[in-house]
Structure 1
Amino acid sequence: MAEDADAQQPQQPQVPQMRVLGQFIRDMSFENIMAQKGAPADVTPDVQVQVNLDAKKRSAENQYESSIKLNVTSKQKDGDATLFVLEIDYVGIFSIQNVQDDQLHPFLLIECPRMIFPFLRRIVSDITRDGGFPPLNLENIDFVSLYRNEIARRQANPPKADA
C-alpha cells in the first residue's frame, strides 16, 4: 500500500548542484609598455576591458570548464600611447548535476563565471600592481547581459554553411 502512495506522489524537481573543483590561469600575458618606452609616470590612464566567455564539457561525467578571457588595454587618456596590455584566460572546473539540458548553456556562461570572477579580479589587481601600476580593481561584470548580447549577436549573424 505504501508503494502505491509513493507512486502517486508527484516527483519533486531536483535542485541544481554545482561544485567548484578547481580554478587556474590557463594563459596570461602582461606587457608594461610604458616602462619599456620610458614614458612619464604622471599619466592619466584610460582602461578598456574586453570580456569573452567560453565553456565546454570535460571527459569526466558531470564535469565542465568555464573560462573568462580578459583583454585589458590601458592607454594614456590625452594621447595615444599604450601603458600596458594584460591578457588572461582564467578557467574554473565545475561538477554540475541536476541542470536540464536546455539550461546548461546559460548556466555554464553565467553562473560559473560569476563564481570564479572574484578570484580573477584579485589576480588582475595583483598583476597590475606588481607590474608597476596602481592596482586595477575590475568592476562587476553583468554575465546575464553579456550572455544575452552574445545570443542576440549570434541570431543576427547566423554562421554561414560551407558550400
Structure 2
Amino acid sequence: MAPFKIFVQYLSNLSFTSPMAPALFFKKDTKANINVKLDVKTQQSDENTFLVSLSSVIENKLEGDKDTATIFTLKIEYNAVIQIDGSITEEEDRKKILLVYVPTTIFPAFRQQISDITTASGYPQFNMEIVDFESMYTKNRQQKND
C-alpha cells in the first residue's frame, strides 16, 4: 500500500498583477529579473488527514539604470488533501511524507498552473525550476538544529 493517498488537488488562491501592461508589450530590448519564493505548509484535519499547501510569490522586475519596475507579480497557493496510511506512526516518517513526498507529487500541477497563468497574461511562458523538496527539508531541519 502507498504511504499516502491524495483525495483532491486544487488551486486555492491566485493573484496576478501586471502594473506595466500594456505599455510594456511595446518596449524592445527589455531585461527582466525573476525572483521566486516558495513555501510548503501543512495543516492537520484529523489523525491521518492533512492539507499540504505549496505557495509561491513570483516577482518579475524590469532591470533599468535608475530603478526597478515590477513587470508582474504572481501569488499562488495550490493544495492537496491527503491521508497518510495509519500504519505510519513515526513522526519523522510522517513529516517526510508531508514535506517531501506530497510536495514532490503535486509540484508538476502547481508548476503547470504558473506556466499557464503567465502565458495567458501575455508574457513568455515561465517554467519554474524543478524543486528538490528532499534537500529543502534537510536544509530546514539542519537550520532548526543549529
Quick check: TM above 0.5?
yes
Output the CA distance in 2 between the equivalents of 1:90 and 1:67. 6
Output the CA distance in 2 between the equivalents of 1:152 and 1:78. 38
TM-score by length of 1: 0.78
Residue 75 (structure 2) pairs with residue 94 (structure 1): no
Output the CA distance in 2 between the equivalents of 1:135 and 1:145. 26
The equivalent of 1:45 in structure 2 is: 32
Secondary structure, in 3 states, of the residue corresponding to 1:105?
A: helix
Output the CA distance in 2 between the equivalents of 1:152 and 1:31. 36
1:21-48 Cα offsets, whole Å, 9 max, x none, are 1011121111012216x33443222111
- Which runs of structure 1 show a deviation greater than 4 angstroms over 4 or more consecutive aligned residues? none
Identity, % of aligned pairs?
26
Output the CA distance in 1 between the equivalents of 2:20 and 2:101. 36
TM-score by length of 2: 0.86
Output the CA distance in 1 between the equivalents of 2:81 and 2:27. 40
Q: Which runs of 5+ in 2 are unaligned?
A: none
Q: 2:4·2:97 contact (CA, 8 Å) conserved in 1?
A: no
- Structure (1 or 2) with the larger CA radius of gyration: 1
Count of residues in Structure 1 that have an aligned counterpart in Structure 2: 140
The equivalent of 1:68 in structure 2 is: 54
1:49-96 Cα offsets, whole Å, 9 max, x none, are 11111112113x521111111010001134511100001111111121
Residue 95 (structure 2) pairs with residue 105 (structure 1): yes
1:87-128 Cα offsets, whole Å, 9 max, x none, are 111111112103233311122001010010000111000111
Moved more, 64-73 or 75-84: 75-84
CA RMSD of aligned residues (A): 1.8
- Partner of residue 149 from structure 1, selected from 120, 135, 139: 139
